[in-house]
Structure 1
Amino acid sequence: MRTGCIAGVLLLIIVGIQADGKNGLCSNAVFAASARSRTYYVATNGRDRYRGTENRPFRTIARGASVLMPGDTLIVKGGTYTEELFRKVPSGTSWTTPVTIKANPGETVIIRPPAGANRVFHFEDYVRDVPDKYIMIEGLILDGINIRYDCIKITGGANHIRIKDCEIMNAPGNGVIISGAGCDDNEIIGCKIHDNGRSTRDHGIYVKTENNLIEGCEIHHNSGYGVHVYNETSRQANCNTIKNCRVYNQASEAGILLASGEANAAQNNLVWSNHTNGIKVNYGATNSLISDNTIYDHRSYGVYVVSNTCTGTLVRKNFVANSGWGSGTGVDISNQGTETVIEDNVTGGGIYNGGKGAIMKGNSRFTAILFVNAEMVRGLL
């Protein structure tokens, strides 16, 4: 075995023996292992001239981020940090060697940019023309009360950004927006996203790209949609998944929109008391999946497939109740789509089908009046 060190990366080359007895380089025998990962610290009583150790921490998150290499972690001690992190975080190289910025366990960390700042985090290209990737932000409160736009923007080809266990709030625009060619494969996991937006065009999460995961989030009291999957200029909003989320009390629109793309899915969510619909499919979406959701207490339809340009939607195994402009006796699932499959759902108010080529099977209605509200459902979880 020969070893070599290139740019701080240990390269192991294993020479194997081929069947004819000659030396050969095995196709799967090259491994790269980064140098030992490091942990740095930031605290409100630190100094940026310090070395970022636990006893001598940096003062700002931006300074701490500037020293990070793939595999490194920046731990942020409790307190409020008045910073805007615009293209300040370097990339990792994979999910085994990401760059991580996280709150110190058990402590409350708030990032609240100063008045006039654009966003809290903006991911694009820390190294010019090289998109950000493999970055994890964990356990932070991102307060957009003073900013001009969104709490988090992922754009310019940035990809593989993971936002985990964060609270994202008070932005005048979107809580999170993922927009731009190549901005795919991002994850928003276990976050609380609330009180964002000032108009119907501002949403809790706005997704315009592909293969993004939104899981285990609590999304409420945003001005537009809770989750808005749509791309107005192309059909790039494909293969996104929203699952295991609680989505409620959006001010002017539905809880979840699956629109304009292919194979987007809403699965196993609890969706209630949004202004119009629970889950809506619109704007030419194809092969959308709405399954295993509990949806109730909406002024309009709980599930709404809006037009015949929406094809191949599958609505399966949902519990839908208390729809219909506050009466609790209206239509729970309404279909105007093409070749929609509606199967094995349980509803209170029934199903309306005005679409073409629909398949309806195995659906049932309550045999007795059942009152559904948030407290009851939460008590069952």
Structure 2
Amino acid sequence: MAPPHTPARRAVLALSTLVAGLGLAVSSVGAAAGAAAYLYVGGGGCSDTGAGTAAVPFCTIAKAAKVAVAGQTVLVSSGTYTDEVFPWHSGTAGSPIIFQPAAGAVVTIAGAKHGFTISNQSWITVSGFTVRDTTSNAFYVFNATGVRLSNNTARGSGSPVAGATAYGMYLNSMTGSVVTGNLVTDNSASGIYLTNGSTGNQITGNESSWNAYGYVRNAVGIDLRAPGNLVSGNRVHDNEDSGIQSYPGGDRNTIVDNVSYHNKGFTTAALTNCSAPPTGNTAGCITGDHGIDDFGVTGSSVVGNTVYDNVAAGINLEGVASGTPSGFTFADNISVDNAASCPNGAGGTVKCPRTRGDIRVDATSQLGTRLDYDLVNLSVSGTMMVWGSTSYTSLAAFQAASGQESHARQADPRWNGPAQADFSLRAGSPAIDSADSSAPGQPALDAAGRPRVDDPSTPNSGIGVRSYDDRGAFEYQPPTTRGATS
């Protein structure tokens, strides 16, 4: 059982410059003529045979979903509903169909097959719902564009048994859509899953955590099997496998300003694809994998992320076809203490069982890969970097042998509280004012939605359109600017 935790609801990131540069669509909201502005669900005197007015609301969200048309907003009263919400109509770019709780209402959908199914319909917004304990995926989207899923919770989907697992959000052939500010946790498959050509989407500001199959080490925080998406400002942690991964099909993604940490754990179950600790320790296996994992994909940017304390290599690139330029850029990341130590199930630690290094590029993936302006560190001796089949215990040795990372730094990043998952920078951090602001995908705002600011106490050593961007997901806020930028 995962420990209790409360998500921090972040403000929606104002990524307009980056979004425009990537060609990603953002819908505008307008009213449609010829229909009531609102449909109402729940409360006394409800009837599914009525018109869904404030005086006689529908009893079920499913009924409202059948009749809602472009420009209408479905307002749902507090309560726990058991119906699957399956919109029958599409909105338009200027007049989406919106589903949301009424003012001050707390709305849960529990026990349905899916909470929301958006299939072959487009320009639909779902905001502010808790979907839990569904028998299949909490949110399922298929062949849709202009969808917006914001500030929802997807929890406890499926069961950790072969044939019964489910994703928090299964996004299939979804294009030009936004998934932002959601909590996706404790599901029996990966948290957020993009597949089958889903492209041009923005996956921003979500928290995806504690997702686990329970019988095979396979659940990822954000799993990209589709190309050309922006993955920005997300917090992924304590998942059964990697925090974020791009697997075949997931080419040309932009992965920026994310925080991926502590994707590792220990279970006494004998999971498939899971490494047991050395003999003499508690029976079971070590779960988790990379902070950010890229396997058999090309053309992506991994920029400005914070990666900490994962089981395997923190930022990993492998499996590119031999002789194929990877087209990958790693820059401005902070990657620290990955694959450094792992739990043994008896309160102690052992050497981690899989790949090592804060950054790793395997032997077939070196061609066309660029690394620079990253910050790495280990608090214990071990493998710092891997380039091809050679491991290096220091950044200097890696630089000399590979010709990469000429502006990288090996140092303590001076986070405020990594044990408490606070990865903001303290004064004097070597990450301050030292990044490459022209690295592909580097945004003008940090993961908290704050602008880049110049610390007057730190000489600028960065390059690009701004010489004062910070490395990692969070921009240091000097005391003189905090009031204005927080």
Change (3 A) 1:250 1:370: closer
Say which structure is richer in strand: 1
Residue 204 of structure 1 aligns to which amino acid in structure 2?
G
Residue of structure 1 aligned with 2:255, choices 242, 250, 275: 242
1:207 maps to: 224
Deviation at 1:379, TM superposition (A): 5.9
2:387 is equivalent to residue 335 of structure 1: yes
Q: Out of 117, 120, 123, which is 2:138 matched to?
A: 120
Alignment correspondent of 1:144:
156
Cα offset, 1:77, TM superposition: 4.2
Q: Distance in 2 between matches of 1:60 and 1:351?
A: 63
Contact 2:361/2:388 (<8 A) preserved: yes
Q: Which amino acid aligns with 1:213?
A: L
Local SS of the residue matching 2:377: strand
| Residues 331 and 352 in structure 1, CA contact (< 8 A), matched pair in contact too | no
- Change in Cα spacing, 1:107 to 1:262, as seen in structure 2 (3 Å) is farther
Q: What is the CA-CA distance between 1:146 and the residue it aligns to?
A: 4.3
TM-score, scaled to structure 2: 0.58
Q: 1:75 to 1:274 in 2, by over 3 A?
A: farther
SS in 1 for 2:147: strand
Match of residue 235 from structure 2: 218
**1:361 partner letter:** S
Largest Rg, 1 or 2: 1
Deviation of 1:310 after TM superposition, in Å, equals 4.5
Matched, 1:289 2:286: no
Q: Distance in 2 between matches of 1:89 and 1:164?
A: 24
Aligned match for 1:167, one of 157, 180, 183:
183
Question: SS where residue 320 of structure 2 aligns?
Answer: coil
Larger relative contact order (CA 8 Å, sep ≥ 6): 2
Cα distance change, pair 141–288 in 1 and its aligned pair in 2 (3 A): same
Contact 1:109 1:141 in 2 (8 A): no
Compute the displacement of 1:184 (Å).
1.4
Q: Which of 312, 315, 322 is the equivalent residue of 2:368?
A: 312
CA drift at 1:136: 1.1
Q: Which runs of 5+ in 1 are unaligned?
A: 1-32, 125-130, 338-346
Q: How does 1:37-186 map to 2 (within 5 A)?
A: 38-43=37-42, 47-54=47-54, 56-85=56-85, 88=87, 90-94=89-93, 96-104=94-102, 107-114=105-112, 117-124=135-142, 131-146=143-158, 148-155=165-172, 157-180=173-196, 182-186=197-201
Equivalent residue, structure 1, for 2:423: 377
Partners of 1:66 and 1:239 lie apart in 2 by 37
Unaligned runs of 5+ residues in structure 2 are 1-29, 113-132, 160-164, 265-287, 340-355, 427-473, 475-486
RMSD: 3.3
Partner of 1:17: none
Give the total of aligned pairs: 320
Q: Using the TM superposition, give the Cα deviation of residue 224 of structure 1 relative to its aligned residue in structure 2, in angstroms.
A: 0.9
Determine the C-alpha separation between the residues in 1 that align with 2:105 and 2:182: 13
Amino acid at match of 1:248: Y
Match of 2:244 among 222, 227, 237: 227
- Contact persistence 1:112–1:144 (CA under 8 A): no
Taking structure 1 as the reference length, the TM-score comes to 0.72
- Tell whether the 8 Å contact from 2:233 to 2:256 is kept in structure 1 after alignment: yes
Whole-angstrom CA distance in 2 between matches of 1:105 and 1:307: 56
For 1:61 and 1:364, locate their aligned partners in 2 and report how far apart those are by CA, in whole Å: 54
Q: Confirm or deny: 8 A CA contact 1:91 1:132 kept in the other structure.
A: no
Give me the whole-angstrom Cα distance separating, in 1, the residues matched to 2:240 and 2:303.
Answer: 23
Contact kept? 2:372, 2:404, Cα under 8 Å: no
Letter in 2 for 1:111: I
